[in-house]
Amino acid sequence: MKPFPNVCYAIFLSAEVLTGRADQAGVAPTDPPIIQIATAHSALTLRAGDDGRLYELGYGRAEKNSSTTDRPPRESEFYPQYGDGFVWEPALQAAHVDGNTSTDLRYVREDSRTLGTNVTLTRIELKDSHYPFYVTLCLERFRNEDVIEQWVEIRHQEHGVVVLRHFASSAPVFNAREYWLTQFYGDWAREATMEEEKLGPGIKILDSKLGVRASRFRFPSFALSENGPAREDSGEVIGGSLAWSGSYQLAFDMDSDNHLRALCGINPSGEAVHLEPGRIFKTPAMLWTWSAHGAGRMTRNFDRWARRYGIRDGDQPRPVLLNNWEATGFNFDEKAIVSLFDGAQAIGADVFLLDDGWFGNAHPRNDDHAGLGDWQVNTNKLPRGLSYLAAQAGRRGVKFGIWIEPEMVNPRSDLFEKHPDWAIQQPHRPLELSRNQLDLDLSNPAVQQFVRRVVDEVFGTPGVSFVKWDCNRYVTQPGSTYLPPGRQSDLLIDYNLALYNIMARMAKKYPRTMAMLCSGGGGRADYGALKYFDEMWPSDNTDPLHRVFIQWGYSYFFPAEAVCDHITRSGNRPLKFAEDVAMSGALGVDMDLRKLPPAELEQLASAVALYKKEIRDVVEQGDLYRLRSPYEHPCAALDYVSADRSRAVLFVYQVKDGDDGSVRPRGLDPQARYRVREVNLPAGANSQLAGDGRVMDGVTLMRDGLRPPCHKPCDSAVIELVKGGAMALPSDESTRPSFR
């Protein structure tokens, strides 16, 4: 497993980890420096003015960002603070121990360290002109991926507690003619719906106040296009993604001179940080990428960064799962589960994933009303336990995985009967249930210890090699019986920090156990949690027709290997369409294979075999090109191209009536010749693709395109393009990865 990025989540540290050099300073240097955080194609340029404040000169194309002004306008301060003359939306607001609500930060020094050939960390220290109050702006740049990660560390040595009321992770200013903002919103079963709008003067806020499962209604990620709506292959587009699973705020504040400040971080509404002297509050990381080649390059930058630094084992193939949730729900026993293993073996699944419903005895988990919190195997349903099931799966060459939801409790559980005070709740208010459950109060160390034990028991069960970590409700009554009255507003930040500690420990202690992040569908779509997981479950909506749109939205920020797409019978669509849609991500299956007619079982098995042998590595490790959007075209299309451009897979999905003509693949080597071959055809069917079997050069393919054999909704095609004409496929060895 790769080491996690150094620092990219909010946390409290002890002061010793910092150099402490800021203590000696607080005076503007005589020769204010220009600080440039440069990647292969972009640069963020800062300078300390002659007044000692830190200003931003620009973010984008490197050569654009220069200025001769010694003191740029106050509006372009890089990390603006509330009070003392600053009248716009602040990045930082602190109430000092004497009650002063203003902060006045001056540049002290900057220090850059190389953390490997591709990564450099720059720390810029600022200090209040009067108070012993220090802010370190941390900027980590990933050169080849054009990604800059920013977070902020705040500490002080005042005589008492400083209350932080605004504490953005990042707040850059942009300077363009127009700004077009794309957000990704939705709800359960309709995640990642895209909406683009032109920003006008004033503040536009995209946020979540849910505390937990916080991206249920909107992702903490956005695309910002300059001077016109975002295009796929041209124009300047900035991508932003906050690595935080709690409440967040992305505020876009445009002034009358057309400057746009993007304040991104934990949502200050209802949340505060009570910071004791000597402790360090570290904000979550904000990820930025800048592209001069439209939203397509923005995505490829994020994907390359994520595979290397943002998710667990990003260079490893994802297993094909067979899940039982759609097939059985809660209604199963040992015999039924074992009988599903044969199907897993028959279709070539790598892992069988036993979903919700396997636990609880006094309060059996037979539906969603009871059992959460009681993580003991239900002995009625599964008398020989989980390891027996794992062994049975293993006998068929299939690994075994299990579902948990360790942050939650049903009032009908042993856990709640014993510890009713462990649930998040507010005094004098009746408990408000959602899906009949409550959130556990992770700010309480006793609860943290309980959850750690649950994780150890589940991950430590012999035979368990995969875990799905679910989270099915958000917080509506943010109160803690553990925190004192004066610290209730810290609850949701403390919760998420504790959660990350538990997840980090899990990822480190169980490196061989794969893990899926899930939150009642896609309620946790962020790089804060994802870095501890191999993949995530994007939506409970598996109707492939809807899924084309959902996957399209996810594709902007997350690589295909991190997005689990399962073939199901939802929506009653043609099986081939369901397969073709799911194959453009991390493929899985969720159906009762015992009920499938033999011909369909065979079709499924050959789709899985094809995926593993010829498609998985290109989709999971290749560059994505979105060719035709389902929002704008009756026939959506995308292709993935391997890093050496020797292989590509083109997916075409007809989502409504209409003819869009030829699809032009992108990303190919123009000089090379590719053999065109339609794959995943039903047994005995011939391809209707004009050009099937032909060898064509890249330039012609990209100029003239291919006319897909799709005419009516739910028609689809998967087309392989293999360089050199011959089928230069990976060896059998590499298609049979040994999953941990």
- Nearest residue (CB) to ligand DGJ, 206 versus 536: 536
The distance of closest approach from Cβ of residue 537 to ligand DGJ in the complex, given in angstroms and rounded to an integer, is 5
Q: Is 521 or 622 the residue whose CB approaches ligand DGJ more closely? A: 521
Smallest separation (angstroms) from ligand DGJ to the CB of 355? 5
CB of 515 to ligand DGJ, least distance (A): 14
Return d(Cα 561, Cα 538) in angstroms, integer: 12
> Is residue 592 a contact residue for ligand DGJ (CB under 6 A)?
no
- Cβ distance to ligand DGJ smaller for residue 19 or 331: 331
In 307-406, DSSP assigns E strands to: 321-323, 351-354, 399-404
Interface with ligand DGJ in residues 155-214 (CB under 6 A)? none
Contacts 24+ apart (CB under 8 A), 597-601: 599/683, 600/575, 601/343, 601/346, 601/347
Question: Which C-beta is closer to ligand DGJ: that of 32 or that of 371?
Answer: 371
Helices 491-509 & 445-459, crossing angle to 10 degrees?
Answer: 30
The answer to whether the beta carbons of residues 555 and 626 sit under 8 Å apart is yes
235 binds ligand DGJ (CB under 6 A): no
Binding test (CB under 6 A) with ligand DGJ, winner from 355, 535, 543, 692: 355
**What is d(CA 400, CA 493) in angstroms, rounded to the nearest whole number?**
34
Residue nearest to ligand DGJ (CB): 356
Measured from the CB atom, is 421 or 540 closer to ligand DGJ? 540
Q: Shortest Cβ distance from residue 378 to ligand DGJ (Å)?
A: 15
Binding pattern for the stretch 528-567 against ligand DGJ, x by CB under 6 A and - elsewhere: ---------x--x---------------------------
**Does 525 contact ligand DGJ by CB under 6 A?**
no
Q: Single out the residue of 52, 296, 371, 521 in contact with ligand DGJ (rule: CB under 6 A).
A: 521
Q: Which stretch binds ligand DGJ (CB under 6 A): 19-27, 201-209, 516-524, 712-720?
A: 516-524
- Pair 222, 183: CB distance under 8 Å: yes
Judged by CB, which is closer to ligand DGJ: 413, or 443?
A: 413
Looking only at residues 55 through 114 of this chain, which bind ligand DGJ when binding is defined by CB under 6 A?
Answer: none
Which positions from 288 to 327 touch ligand DGJ by CB under 6 A, shown as an x/- string? -------------------------------------x--
Closer to ligand DGJ at the Cβ: 293 or 435?
435
360 touches ligand DGJ (CB under 6 A): no
Smallest distance, Å, CB 546 to ligand DGJ?
A: 15
Q: Which residues contact 738 (CB under 8 A, 6 or more apart)?
A: none
Q: Binder to ligand DGJ among 10, 440, 475, 518 (CB under 6 A)?
A: 518
Smallest distance from ligand DGJ to CB 458, Å: 15
Q: What are the respective helix, strand and coil percentages of the chain, to the nearest 5?
A: 25, 30, 45
For the bound state, the minimum distance from the C-beta of residue 616 to ligand DGJ, rounded and expressed in Å, comes to: 22
Neighbours of 453 (CB within 10 A): 12
Q: What angle do CA 341, 386, 327 make, to 5 degrees?
A: 40
Residue 653 makes CB contacts below 8 A (sequence gap 6+) with 544, 548, 577, 580, 581, 630, 635, 636, 637, 710, 716
Which amino acid is it at 406? P
Q: Are 43 and 36 in contact (CB under 8 A)?
A: yes
Beta bridge partners of 566: 588
Q: Which residues contact 621 (CB under 8 A, 6 or more apart)?
A: 307, 315, 561, 642, 643
What is the spatial distance between Cα 568 and Cα 588, in angstroms, rounded to a whole number? Answer: 9
Tokens 């994505």 appear where?
Answer: 624
- Residue 403 contacts ligand DGJ per CB under 6 A: yes
Residue the block writes with tokens 């654009």: 64
How crowded is residue 228: how many other Cβ atoms within 10 Å of its Cβ?
15
**C-alpha 57 chain-centroid distance:** 30
d(CA 536, CA 219): 14
Count of residues making up the chain = 740
Distance CA 707, CA 693 (A): 14
- Using the minimum distance from each CB to ligand DGJ, give the nearer residue, 236 or 374: 374
One-letter amino acid for residue 136 of the chain = T
CB atoms within 10 A of CB 694: 15
Q: Tell me the window of 13-21, 513-521, 644-652, 673-681 that interacts with ligand DGJ (CB under 6 A).
A: 513-521
For the chain, give the longest Cα–Cα distance.
81
- Per-residue contact flags (x/-) with ligand DGJ for residues 452 to 491, judged by CB under 6 A: ------------------x-x-------------------
Under rule CB under 6 A, how many of the chain's residues touch ligand DGJ?
A: 11
Which CB atom, from 410 or from 621, has the smaller least distance to ligand DGJ? 410
> Closest CB to ligand DGJ among 590 and 715?
590
Q: What is the DSSP string of 626-652?
A: EEE-TTT-SEEEEEEE-TTSSEEEEEE
> Which one, 401 or 708, has the nearer CB to ligand DGJ?
401
Among residues 314, 520, 634, 708, the one that binds ligand DGJ under rule CB under 6 A: 520
Q: How far is the CB of 358 from ligand DGJ (least distance, A)?
A: 11
Q: Which residues are catalytic?
A: 470, 540
Q: Which stretch binds ligand DGJ (CB under 6 A): 110-118, 514-522, 645-653, 679-687?
A: 514-522
Angle, vertex CA 342, rays to CA 338 and CA 343, nearest 5: 115
Cβ proximity of 386 and 402 under 8 Å: yes
> Coil, helix or strand for 600?
helix
Stretch that binds ligand DGJ, among 358-366, 410-418, 505-513, 518-526 (CB under 6 A): 518-526
Q: Please, what is the minimum distance in Å from the beta carbon of residue 560 to ligand DGJ?
A: 19
Residues that bind ligand DGJ (CB under 6 A): 325, 355-356, 403, 470, 472, 518, 520-521, 537, 540
